A and B are shown apart, each in its own frame.
Chain A
Amino acid sequence: MKTYAILIDTSYCTGCNTCSYRCIQEFRSHTQATNGLFRTFVAINDGGLYHKRCMHCFDPECVKVCPVNALSKSEYGPVLYDQEKCIGCQSCVKACPFSIPQYDEKTQKILKCSLCAHRIAENKEPACAEACPTGAIQFGESKAILGKAKEIAKKRKMTIYGLSEASGTHTYILTIGSPKKAGYIDVKKGVPKIKKSSIESIGAMPIVAGAIIGGLKKLEERKRKIAEENKNKD
């Protein structure tokens, strides 16, 4: 099935944080934000704009380490989090190479972007992307988004953060110059591990077929399959 991704062109971003606030309203997470916990936050740094948000890795460390499967990689892209299952052990907090999951001491739960999975299902783009006044945040099918990221990067000599960091992610952040300068964490790079599933998708199949295939598969099965595929490759 098709997968989705986010593109952030920081050369269009002014740090207004409309995206952050819209996200907070979407999730009614004002209390967490008051305590400094954000699903997404834009820091106006000297070297550029740092968007601290989940990268939705192809092969997420947080998913691997979570002892209770509270985190899962969906087949259409987002790394999802089930707060009911979460025991607050903070393994993901420590494991995430991007330092993304935030631990809320009050609720003893995690806060992390879901790529607005509920909105994707509701025929809407993620709240932050819809709100961004400059169009710096764009959402769409991974293939198209990656194509766009590559095109812009080539044309305007920008770097794509998230392309090969942690062996690939569903978030592509375009920066002028080194992403590190703007505040992005230096994460080990690797060749994207998931061959077809995450970014290629069964794009050639007719939509209806895609629906049937997609519809029949359970998340857990999918997860197992991905794990298997990865093992085979290693």
Chain B
Amino acid sequence: MADGISKNKDLTRRDFLKFVATTGAIASLSSFPFKNLEAQAPFGKHPQEKPIYQIKKKIPQVCARACEADCAYYVIVAHDPVTNLERAITLEGRPEDPVSNGKFCIKGLAFVDSIYDPDRLMVALKRTNPKKGTDNDPGWVTIKTEDAVNEIIQSLKKFKPEEILMCSPGDPYTNKLARSLGVTRSDQRTECFGTHYYINCLTLTNPPNKYYSSTYTPSHHVAGYDYDNAKYQIWFGFDSLSKCGKAGMLVHWKNAKKNGCKVVVFNPLRTPLADAFATEIYSIKPGTDLAVALAMMNIIIKDKLYNVKFLKDYTDAPALVDMKTKLTIKTKEGALMAWCETHKKAEPIDVCHKPVMEGGPYKLTIDNKEYEVKPILQYIKDTVKAYTPEWASKISEVKESVIIKVAKEFANAKPYAFIPTYKRDAAGPNYANSWRLRHAINILNTLTGSIDHEGGVILLHDVKIPWLEDLAKPVKPYPEQPKEPVDFRNMFPVTDEIYKNKDFSAPGHYGMVGWGLYKTQKTKAVFFRNPYRGLYAMIQPQMVEASLEKMDLVVDWNLYLDDIGYWSDYVIPAPHQFEEGKFDIRLYYPKWPCYVGGSPVQKSPGDQIGWGSLAVKIGMALAPEYWTTDGSGDPNKRVPLNMSDHALKNAGIASNTAEFMNKGGFWINKKKYENYKTIREIGYGRPNGRVRMFIDEFKKVDFEPVPVWAQRWHDAKGEYKFSMLITRAPWIMHADPNFINNPVLRKITEKNYMDCVWINQEAAKEIGVKEGDMVVLENNPEFLKELPRPVKAKVHITNRMLRKDCVLLFHGIGHRAKNLKVAGNWGYRDGDLIPQKDPNIVKKHDPTGMGWVEDVYVSIKKA
């Protein structure tokens, strides 16, 4: 338990009465806002006035895996009258946490209850029936976890590195394990963060940078948003229903509203989030947000409404582009060049005092070679010239006048104006053109100068948690990664370069990994460090299922036996996240440098093994040279793992984590945000870092270096005319049994019709269905050619659906494993309708290689 918790809050009722009686000074209880408590105290006779539980401990914890915000809070441990046990009961906020501002959400609360979920996996399981699938009894035998791990290690020895796939997010342990074994790591975060992560890498910062931390990439942001101080925000489908429950963000949106920030929403769905926080809501045709963004770029540049100083000093806007190759011109040292208005010649961008940003072409001779060049801003201006508001209106079905108005208002609110994007919004990995939208958004945020500015896009600074490799450098370079990885990332050099050479924790390519497993049969062993998500979280899981059936070895490390277990040979029990220590930085509101920690609430009650311990065990057995400081493999020379100790010591906060936790597990430096300082440190061309709008890398793979209009992949055809929108119930995350196996959350979901598919009245009339009717949804076989699996679901008719050509599906439900008492066989699975992608198709549309999870049109028929 942390010190520094107000003693008053720990008072029992009797103590409290005593306290009141002796001091008689209620006002001294600073947290109590009601002056006449004395009046009630003697009343406490009514049964409902008696305390329900007695708080024993408040344990600091940090949310993880329930959303990206990672709120810090206390877990309240008390004597529970229902079970008569001392157990975790609920949460209490930490007001000092800059992310959560003392709040938490329903998912955090649900984690408290999932500690005690009777379906939690307590022991390791080993399959005896070789026939896999949810319809077959695996014939589990229980086995000591240690024995299971040893057997797995022995099995893994039989495979070549290129035959093993590690399905796991890129945490420090996974990274080291996958790299030391030379195996491919791929993970489903592609569908959550992929596009955001890669476009940020290409425009804002080239990893690894000064603040590149071991917890930086799991949530894939170097950038947070200063909603609290913003004046203008545009949300392109940003307001999903899933965001309705993210306390670490809600508290900031609330502040924005209180401060009068204008929020303009484009979304074919009217969410309660927009009802609460939007100033204006406009319906938009799904997958066409890019058109609106391009028209906004056009207006802002044409009318010169951009932030001139920011563009000149902190971006590549003045940098010169060779009009022939469409690549930037660089000095021998690799610096960008600018055209000097005074000297009428090209100079290195950081040297030039009066660079031009428009005009040209200028003629330039370098090494006797002649070039025709234009500054990047002019290049973008030329590119977006055709994207008039009238043009965008035809595509997006948003009124021309709205586009003009919003573009001007947005630019006029600079630099306190930005477009936020997180996980699954229109700029996420949703459509084949989403990467272009994401790029356009970064350019729009650059045009207002909101990047690295208070009230804008704020950047992580002055905190760093080292990687395992920072603590002990590997004695020799890690082995080569497989030449032809099963997720085809090698076909996407723009992102593969980042993954292979810069940030091994970068998101993998789940949009194609199922395709690869199914089509190539290269992989013989799959290791899912995939806690709490299972197959039902994937796109076209039927393809993964079919390939796992033939796999030699499948291992799942999981808190539950879920549907992935039915295709696994071993299931290894994982601890609950509240049974682990935590150490984190504040990525989602990185305004101030801050570290926060959490302590285990209890010891895992079964034969669980933590991920770190498991990875070390496998690493020490299979690649000991990389897991020992001197490469000897001697168990006494194991590499140090105390990353948090190092972070705290380097920052001079505490000599180790234990000391930090004893002090309360929280440190913050609430200094003033220094505008445009961090971009210098982490941007392109550092130490004089800049934002890049122009991406040479795209040109090198035959895509335009700046955003241009492109259609989504799917188009409506015949009966396949309902664009599939996907969201989650606000209290469900990651298709995770922590939530979907919770009977209360199931009830709340059903009471809010979030186990249904949503369409509007007009659509319902067209297909002839009534509220509550069962319908069948099918994808067009032209797009989902193999293993179709139609979805059967109940219909909910609602005017929250603003267009008749859309259907809303709720992600996360649709679990098939029978052993999960609540989640098993509840609801439908959205992923069944989303095709795994042929990499050759992806390559034509998207150089980042994402999964386009909403790029689907389906038919809906009465069942």
Contacts and interface: CB of A to CB of B under 8 A. Distances in A.
Given A14-B244, A80-B46, A214 B36 contact: yes
A219 B45 contact: yes
Contact of A28 (B26, B80, B752): B80
A122 B51 contact: yes
Contacts of A82: 46-48
Contacts of B740: none
A212 to B, nearest CB: 8
A49 B89 CA distance: 28
A27 B52 CA distance: 7
B105 A133 contact: yes
B730 interface: yes
Interface string B782-825: 00000000000000001110000000000000000000000000
Contacts of A36: 747, 751
A175 to B, nearest CB: 11
Interface residues of B, number: 71
B41 interface: yes
B844 to A, nearest CB: 39
Contacts of A33: 743-744, 747-748
Interface stretch (A39-47, A60-68, A185-193): A39-47
Interface in A1-30: 1-2, 4, 11-18, 20-22, 24-28, 30
Contacts of B9: 123
B472 interface: no
Task: Identify whether the interface residues of B are mostly helix, strand, loop, or mixed.
Answer: helix
A21 B71 CA distance: 17
Highest count of chain B CB atoms <10 Å: which of A35, A43, A84, A214: A214
Interface residues of A, number: 64
A88 interface: no
A18 B276 contact: no
Contacts of B89: 25, 28
Interface stretch (B27-35, B309-317, B443-451): B27-35
Task: Identify whether the interface residues of A are mostly helix, strand, loop, or mixed.
Answer: mixed
A194 interface: no
A44 B752 contact: yes
A219 B46 contact: yes
B90 A26 contact: yes
Given A14-B730, A21-B110, A44-B272, A121 B49 contact: yes
A72 to B, nearest CB: 8
Interface of A: 1-2, 4, 11-18, 20-22, 24-28, 30, 33-36, 41, 43-44, 46, 48-49, 72, 74, 76, 78, 80-84, 114, 117-118, 120-123, 125, 127, 130-135, 140-141, 207-208, 210-211, 213-215, 219
23 contacts: A12-B254, A14-B273, A14-B276, A15-B752, A18-B245, A21-B110, A22-B109, A25-B89, A27-B52, A41-B751, A49-B275, A120-B37, A121-B13, A121-B37, A121-B43, A125-B33, A133-B104, A133-B105, A134-B253, A140-B34, A211-B38, A214-B39, A214-B42
Given A41-B748, A134-B254, 12 more contacts: A11-B276, A14-B245, A16-B250, A21-B106, A22-B106, A74-B46, A114-B48, A122-B51, A131-B103, A141-B35, A215-B41, A219-B43
Interface of B: 8-9, 11, 13, 16, 24, 26, 29, 31-53, 80-82, 89-90, 92-93, 103-106, 109-110, 112-113, 244-245, 247, 250-251, 253-254, 257, 272-273, 275-276, 730-731, 743-748, 751-752, 798-800
In the A-B complex, the 8 residue pairs with the closest CB atoms: A214-B39, A211-B38, A133-B247, A16-B245, A14-B244, A25-B90, A34-B743, A215-B42
